[in-house]
Amino acid sequence: MSASLSVLKSAALLLSLQLVQRGLGIVSTLILARLLVPAEFGIVALVTISMQFFELLVETGNQQYIVQKKTLVDDDLNTAWSMDVLLKSLLALLIIAASPLLAIYFRTPELTAALSVTALTLPIRALKTPGLMKLARDINYRPIFRLNLWQKIITFIVVIGLALAHPSYWALIAGNIVSACILAIGSYRVDAYRPRWTLVNFREQWGFSQWLLLRGIVGFTRSQIDNLMVSRFFGTTPLGGYNVVREVSLLPALSAIIPMSEPLLAAIAKAKEDPATLAHRIRFSLAVMSSCLIPVTLFIMMYPKLIVGVLLGDNWTAYAPLLRPFGLLFFTFCLFALVSDAIIALGKVYRLFWFDVISTVIIFVTLLLTGTHSLTAMAWSRGWLAIATTLALLLILARMTRFGLARYCWLTLPSLIGSAGAGYLIAQCPLQALPPVVEFLLRGAGFVLIAVATTLIWASLLLRNTEEWHQIRFLLKHVIRRKKPSP
């Protein structure tokens, strides 16, 4: 099976999983909102924030290390597994010891027990077989999909059942424990690999992982820096509106596009010793992703008030103008992640770390100078800074791999033309008198259909002699006919 077809199938599986996960999450939230009081959700939120911070300290990037390895041996898998178990067990003990202090700091006594129990999910998840990382490296996501699907469904049933029997935040915490156990136990059912304890390759893996760890801390700071500044200069209420609209702009990325791009990391890593193949796969991956991002970005920027009104309600329309600059953030959020993954797959994590350090400082200074007099100014400054940093990282990747930046831009031209045409035609439709939900559905469906059709037409005209267009036609024909191609 070709690498491109493997990536396509794996991306489809991950997209399906995300749709199930997001669907169950929405249903779960709607049910729990009617069973639990806001204070219960507050405790869960504090637990989540605390765990995210602590988990960042032991994010070793084992999967990225395994994926980018040219030659993989059992000692690599076993060391990755042993490191994960060791570090996350120590972290769990640290969290349990620190939970009383955190409960005092947040003035929430219930946090002591809740955080201590939730900390147990760290070593439990770490016990999963490292064979899952090998499956990801081989772009074989079907077993992982089955496991994660059962994990989400069973966890959903447990959480809702416990909440119905005894409405409490403990239902959600118990769900986290059950989810971790299913992942750990189920991993040995879907993959035959059995790890053994060893740290023989600790030095090599830590040399790779330490840069990912440091980058995670810097990246977390960069991702939250505008929220922190909004809180400091504008107050809590504006922060709520700013952050919620920002999250809405990233929903398509977090729900579908980022998960779908995960297999591209393995495909790029497999070609890093062949410069021509590597350049082609990077260029093709970037072009496909950009072609998907352009129409979504354009629709977000064209109809901010309609989108916010339908998704969040009339109480949030005052913050709707922020969605337009956040469209830039959405586009770069996905593209930046793919470019970063490509650099990680090449084993150049230390360069990525220093890029993140320098860009974080530049973002902070620029936001301080240009974004502190209004929320709109902050949002536009953050959006254009995201464009600038992504372009800079793209230039670095182009210099490292010679993937052909000009050709990549040419490959995305059909999507740009098709999306612009779709946007113009949909804007001419007098649908404002309809209910907002109906208008949103009609404009969205029409925009997608026109954008896809015109993009394919322009691609067939402008790209007919390119290798990438032949590859896209091959993949489309296989999807439509559902026939297995020859290797």
Q: Which two tokens stand for residue 236?
A: 């809590």
Q: What is the pLDDT, as a whole number, of residue 327?
A: 92
Which residue, 29, 36, 33, 40, is CA-closest to 110?
40
Q: What is the pLDDT, as a whole number, of residue 147?
A: 87
In terms of Cβ atoms closer than 10 Å to its own Cβ (0-12, 13-18, 19+), residue 39 is: exposed
Rounded CA-CA distance 123/119 in Å is 8
Rounded CA-CA distance 434/446 in Å is 15
Q: Which two tokens stand for residue 154?
A: 């069973």
Rounded CA-CA distance 46/302 in Å is 36
Q: Which two tokens stand for residue 354?
A: 């220093």
Q: What is the pLDDT, as a whole number, of residue 266?
A: 58
Instruction: List, as one string, the DSSP characters of 69-120.
Output: -SS--HHHHHHHHHHHHHHHHHHHHHHHHHHHHHHHHTT-TTHHHHHHHHHT
Q: What is the pLDDT, as a whole number, of residue 453?
A: 93
Rounded CA-CA distance 362/369 in Å is 11
Q: Residues 197, 82: contact at Cβ < 8 Å?
A: yes
Q: What is the pLDDT, as a whole number, of residue 376?
A: 92
Rounded CA-CA distance 125/459 in Å is 45
Q: What is the pLDDT, as a whole number, of residue 292?
A: 86
Q: What is the pLDDT along the chain (487 residues), one digit of tens a residue?
A: 455 555 555 555 555 655 666 566 556 655 665 566 556 655 766 676 667 667 766 666 677 677 667 777 888 888 889 988 998 999 899 999 999 998 887 677 888 998 999 999 999 999 999 888 888 777 676 788 788 888 888 988 998 898 888 888 898 899 889 999 999 999 999 888 899 998 888 887 777 666 666 767 777 677 777 876 776 787 656 766 777 778 778 776 665 555 555 555 556 666 666 777 778 778 888 888 888 889 999 999 999 999 888 877 777 788 889 999 999 998 888 888 888 877 877 777 778 888 888 998 999 999 999 988 898 999 999 999 999 999 999 999 888 888 888 888 999 999 999 999 999 999 998 888 889 889 999 999 999 999 999 998 998 888 877 777 776 666 656 545 544 443 3
Q: What is the pLDDT, as a whole number, of residue 467?
A: 74
Q: Residues 269, 134: contact at Cβ < 8 Å?
A: no
DSSP state of 167: -
- Matching residue, tokens 């129990």: 117
Q: What is the pLDDT, as a whole number, of residue 335?
A: 85
